[in-house]
Chain A
Amino acid sequence: MGRDSCEAPFISPATLRWLFLAVIVVVWELVPRLGLVPSVMLAPASEAMIAGFQDFGTFARALGITFGQLASALIFAYGIGALAGLLLGSVYFLRETLLPIVSSIYAVPLVIVYPLLTAWVGIGPESKVIFGALYGFFPMALSVAAGVQTVDRQYILAARSMGARTSQILFQIMLPASVPSILSGLRIGGAMTAIGVVVAEMMAATGGIGFLITQNRTMFNTAEVYFGIFLVLILTGLLDMFIRLMERCFTNWYPKET
């Protein structure tokens, strides 16, 4: 088959994509309604929405709790992560010894420490904030460290030849050069913090959207479970959009990806 036959397709790739999406939504709606799949497994999309909006007060309260915990966790994840990343990336001794250890720990499934947190501080909001911050800490620290240590040596040499002082090199070269990796740390770290908070709520909690999902699951309220998941996706989607917006403001000197 010649490659040229791909050049003028029957329908454009974008159309095919939307068509496929539409088919999925229709199948999702019809399969449980026609009884092809038990309704416990899959609730029709419309039913999930209706169930959610009927009980919107409960969901809104849960979302509020999650949002508050997420905001506190982000402060710790970003703050401590950026500081640790800066030290790990720029101090030669730490970069050579501690940084590899930290990046190895990244491979550990951090969920296993959650029972420890609940044993220590209980199943209230504190354990969610700590766990979320822990989840976001590693990507944030590792991104910042990578950004700081990969600053092009040529920039520093050029600045020194023009008489830049150490503080000028730090603030006018190192910092702006690390902005892209700091922003990607904010983005990945933010997403991980959100996952951490929700996962913690799912496992043991007294409130929050993750707790609500688990509660509805144990009662086999499939429609409500789907609506809860939908809300989490919206929450993380908004967080991601917010950080991307910041990214666009700070990195106008970057060739834009298409």
Chain B
Amino acid sequence: MLSSSYRVLVQAGIVLILLGLWEAAVFSGLADTRTLPPPSEIAIHIVALLGDQDVLYNLWITSAQVGLAFLIVAPVGVAIGLLLGEHEYIGRAFRPFFYFLAGVPKSVFLPVFILTFGIGFTQKVAFGIFQAIFVLVISAIAAVGSVSPTLIKVARSYGANRWQLYSQIFLPAMMPVVIEGMRLGMIFNITGVVFAEMYVARAGIGHMIATWGMSFQMPQLFAGIFLTAFLSIAVNEVLRWYERRVDKWRK
């Protein structure tokens, strides 16, 4: 095993070398600055974007849509998954729907959301929820399966009622798997909201990226892509860190 500090150093080195090659390619005339701006120029534009009121407003809109969708979908998805995973009868009746729908490509349904909800805030939130809910439900069902039957037997022998069983045994024991599901759901949620913004919208960082692309504003386009990528990776890493923390007792 490489030590973690050494690994980060090597990773940073790899990224720097790639950026250096890119910079060199542009300056040696191998690539055209108009279609491929150098990293240094992109960095300047990222800083500029972060000082631009308009960009900050659009980032805020996107974050609000993503955040609201997550706040709604996380408890709802886990509750549905818990019910489907734990209740024998309801589970056997309705689990196949969710397994099937989890495998269906959901992006093609975007036009339906536009026809139903219009092109505003609500439609983005609804589409984010739609993208994320199935993976969340599936992982919550898997999480129920990961709860040791012995724990449940013990709790029942102590006389725990159904509510206590859910809150004291199932939910805490399910957490590690559920958090992983939430992280995957968050990825799908962000993808859904940004895609919806790029498709048809009046605001949001996805909308700005699409506009920069259509008007060939390459430095801004690159800066927007990198900014969005950084933010998504950051959200993912935070959830991953939390996942590891919650997962500690399992090993």
Interface residues in chain A, defined as those with a beta carbon under 8 Å from any beta carbon in chain B: 6, 9, 13-14, 16-17, 20, 40-42, 96-98, 100-101, 104-116, 118-120, 191, 194-195, 198-199, 202-203, 210, 213-214, 216-217, 220, 222, 225-226, 228-229, 232-233, 236, 240
Contact = CB atoms under 8 A, between A and B. Distances in A.
Contacts of B115: 40-42, 217, 220, 222, 225
B59 to A, nearest CB: 13
Contact of B35 (A96, A120, A213): A120
Contact of B105 (A104, A106, A232): A232
A112 B228 contact: yes
Contacts of A41: 115-116
Contact of B224 (A112, A118, A194, A217): A112
A179 B206 CA distance: 38
22 contacts: A6-B87, A6-B88, A9-B89, A14-B92, A20-B93, A20-B94, A40-B115, A97-B10, A97-B11, A100-B7, A104-B233, A106-B187, A107-B232, A107-B233, A109-B195, A111-B191, A111-B198, A114-B213, A115-B209, A119-B218, A214-B111, A229-B112
A97 B187 CA distance: 23
B185 to A, nearest CB: 12
Contacts of B14: 97-98, 101
Nearest to B91: A13
A112 to B, nearest CB: 5
B30 interface: no
A229 to B, nearest CB: 5
B97 interface: yes
Contacts of A20: 93-94
B195 A107 contact: no
Contact of A202 (B35, B96, B110, B190): B110
Nearest to B13: A97
A27 B233 CA distance: 42
Nearest to A21: B97
A189 B102 CA distance: 15
A199 B195 CA distance: 9
A236 B233 contact: no
Contact of A213 (B111, B206, B229, B237): B111
Contacts of A232: 105, 108
Contact of A199 (B107, B187, B221): B107
Nearest to B210: A115
Contact of A225 (B92, B96, B103, B111): B111
Nearest to A16: B93
A97 B112 contact: no
B229 A112 contact: yes
B88 to A, nearest CB: 5
A98 B13 CA distance: 11
Contacts of A216: 111
B172 to A, nearest CB: 22
Contacts of B92: 13-14
A94 B146 CA distance: 32
A17 B225 contact: no
A106 B89 CA distance: 37
Nearest to A225: B111
B105 A194 contact: yes
A189 B212 CA distance: 29
Contacts of B236: 104, 107
A108 B206 contact: no
Contacts of A101: 11, 14-15
Nearest to A236: B105
A214 B15 CA distance: 38
Contacts of A236: 104-105
B60 interface: no
B194 interface: yes
A235 to B, nearest CB: 9
Name which of B15, B97, B191 has the most chain A CB atoms within 10 A of its CB: B191
